[in-house]
A and B are shown apart, each in its own frame.
Chain A
C-alpha cells in the first residue's frame, strides 16, 4: 500500500485494523488456530445475546439472567470443532480425498451387491424372530422404502424434482378408504384402483408442469400436494373433512380375515390356530414387503428398457432428447404416472394398516421425508433408498428409544439434570447427522450410476459425470 492511500474506514483505530489484518493474513495462510479463533469470535458475536443472556419472568416483567458458562461452553465447542475439522482436512489433501471418495463409492457399490441379498433375507426372516414393536417398525421402514422407490422414478431417474409426492400417497389412501367404506370393496380390489387413480392424478399434475424446470417445478408440485390436502379437508361430504375416515376394513388373505371371532372365515379359525394379534401384524408386514419388492422389480426392469433409458436421458439433457425424436411430453408424463402409481399402492396400504385416514397424515413434511430418503440414499440408486430409509426412519425411532432409555436408566449422571428429556434432542441429532452425511457424501450414500446395458462388463459411472436433472 502506498503512503498516500487513505484508510478505507476512517473511524477505525489503526490498532484494531492492524490486528484484523494480521488475523486475516494468518487465516489465509492456513493457520488452523487462527482460523478456529476467528470462528470462535464469530460464534461469540452470535451467541453473546442468544445464549449468554436468558430472560426470566421476574416480579415486574422480564429480568435478564447472564449465563457466562453456557456461552463459554458453546464458544469453546465451536473453537474445538473448527480446529478438529481443519486439522483433519490438513491431513488429507484434496486430490487424495477425491481418490478416497472414489474408492469409497466403488466399495459401496460392490458392497451393495453383497449386502442387498443379505438385507432381503433379513427382511424375509424378520417376523420369525422380531417382537411386535420391531415388526411395526419394519412396516414403517418398508412403507418409506416403497415411497422412496416410487419417488426415485420421478426424481432419481427422470430428474423431475417433485415436492408434492405425498399427494399420490393421499389419493391412494383415500381411494381405498372411500371405496371400502362406501361400496364395501376389498383391499385387493382397491389396490389396482388406488394405483390407477393416483396415476391419473400424476398425469393431471404432469400436464401443467411440463414446461417448468427446476425450482419452478418444485414449487408447483409442492402446491399440488397442498391442494390435495386442502381438498381432503374441505370436501367433507366425501372425505369426512378433518375428522377423516375411520373403520377402514383390514386386508384379507384369500378371503380369510384376521380377527378374534374364530369362525371358519378367519385366518386363525381356518387353520385351527389360536388367534393372536401378531398374525395380522406379520401378514401386513409381508404385504408391504411384497408391494415394495414389486416396486423395486418394476423399476429395475424399467431402467433396462427403452422407457427407463429415455428418462435418464431426459435427466441428462432434455434438448438432446428432443433432437433425437423422443417425445419429451409423453416421457415425462409416464414418469409422473408410474411414480404416482407406486405412491397410490403405498397409500392404500397405509389406509388398511391404520384403519383410519385423515388429512393430517399427508402434510408437506411427509413429502420432505420421502424426498430426503431419496436424496440421502443417492439419486437413482435403489439400494441407497433402502439404506437411507433404514437410517432415517429406523434409526430415528431407535434413537428415540435409546435416548429415553438413557434418561430413565440414569446413565447420564449429573448431565441428566441438565437434559431432562433427551428424546427431544433426537431431531437435532438427526439433522446434524444428515448434514454430516451430505458434507462427506454430497451425492448421497450410494452415488454413481450403473449402466443399463454394456457390451462387456458393467462399470460404475462416478457421480461427477451424472447429471442431477433440472426438471
Chain B
C-alpha cells in the first residue's frame, strides 16, 4: 500500500496577525519514523497541535489513512475523536501525566474507551454488569505489558508525579501507546534526558516502530533524530525548508543556514554537520 499514513497539504495556521505555519505540506509514511525539526519558534508544536486537534487550522488539509483504508480529515474531527477514531496519540512537550494517580491508573485511563464504550456501559459497570471486570483484566494486562517494557513494573502503584523525570517521559509514551494508536506524535520526548536515557528512548521508539506503529517526532536532540529517523522534515518560520532522509537533510545548505541562523538569535544549535555519526547530542 503506497498511500501515506498522514498527508498534510497546504496547512496554514494564523494567530491574529502572526502566521505560525505557512502553507506547509509534508507526509508521514506508514511504518516510518518521521521527524519534524527546526529552530525554536519554527512552528513545529503548532503543526502538532493542528494534527492532534488542539488547534483548528486556518486552512489546509490533514488527511490520515488507516491501513484498512479508513480515511479521516483531522482538521474537522473533534479533539477526542482524533485519539479515539483516527487513533492518533500524542505526548506533550511539558509532561502531562495525571500526577496524583498511580502509574497503573495512568495507563488504565488511557484505555478508557475500551473499558467504557459509552456512558450507559460506564454506569452498568457500577453494578458489575456489562463485562467491565473482564475488560479491566485485559486492560491491566496490557498496562502490565507496557510497564514491563519501560521497566516501571516495580513502581506500578506509585503516584506518577513521584517518578523521576526520565521515567515520567517514558510513562507518557507508554500511556499514549495504550490507546492503541496507528500514529504516535511525540513532542520533544528527549528534552531534559541525559545521554543514556536518550539512548534508551531511541531504542524504545525503534521497538514501537517495529510493532507497526508509525511515529511523528519533534526533537531538538539531533543525535536521536539522525539515528532513528527514516524521514526528516525541516521547518523554519512556519515553512518547509528541507525534506528527505537524514543524510540529505544534514547536507542541505538551507538547513545549516537556518540552524546557524542569520536572524535566529535565540537558538544557536550546533550545526548538524558537526554530528556526522549522530552520537553527539546537539540540543542544549
Chain A residues with a Cβ under 8 A of chain B: 298, 301-302, 305-307, 309-310, 312-313, 316-317, 319-328, 330, 334, 449, 451-459, 461-462, 465-467
Contact = CB atoms under 8 A, between A and B. Distances in A.
A452 B158 CA distance: 12
Contact of B80 (A326, A454, A462): A326
A320 B140 contact: no
B132 A305 contact: yes
Given A307-B116, A465-B162, A317 B98 contact: yes
B241 to A, nearest CB: 29
Nearest to A315: B100
A195 to B, nearest CB: 13
Given A325-B83, A451-B102, A451-B157, A305 B112 contact: no
B110 to A, nearest CB: 5
A455 B157 contact: yes
A459 B103 CA distance: 12
Contacts of B140: 453, 455
Given A302-B126, A309-B105, A458-B157, A324 B100 contact: no
7 contacts: A298-B126, A310-B116, A312-B100, A316-B99, A327-B84, A455-B157, A456-B156
B162 to A, nearest CB: 6
A323 B52 contact: yes
A324 B112 contact: yes
B98 A322 contact: no
A176 B153 CA distance: 52
Contacts of A319: 54, 92, 96
B80 A328 contact: yes
Contacts of A453: 102, 104-105, 108, 136, 140
A253 B113 CA distance: 43
B161 interface: yes
Given A301-B126, A305-B126, A455-B156, A313 B80 contact: no
B142 to A, nearest CB: 13
Report, nearest first, the 3 A-B pairs whose CB atoms are least far apart: A466-B100, A325-B83, A325-B84
Contacts of A462: 159
A453 B80 CA distance: 25
B226 to A, nearest CB: 28
Contacts of B175: 324
A324 B179 contact: yes
Contacts of A449: 100-101
Contacts of A330: 119
A445 B100 CA distance: 18
Interface in B77-117: 79-84, 89-90, 92, 96-102, 104-105, 108-110, 112-113, 115-116
Given A327-B80, A453-B140, A466-B99, 4 more contacts: A307-B122, A309-B112, A313-B112, A325-B83
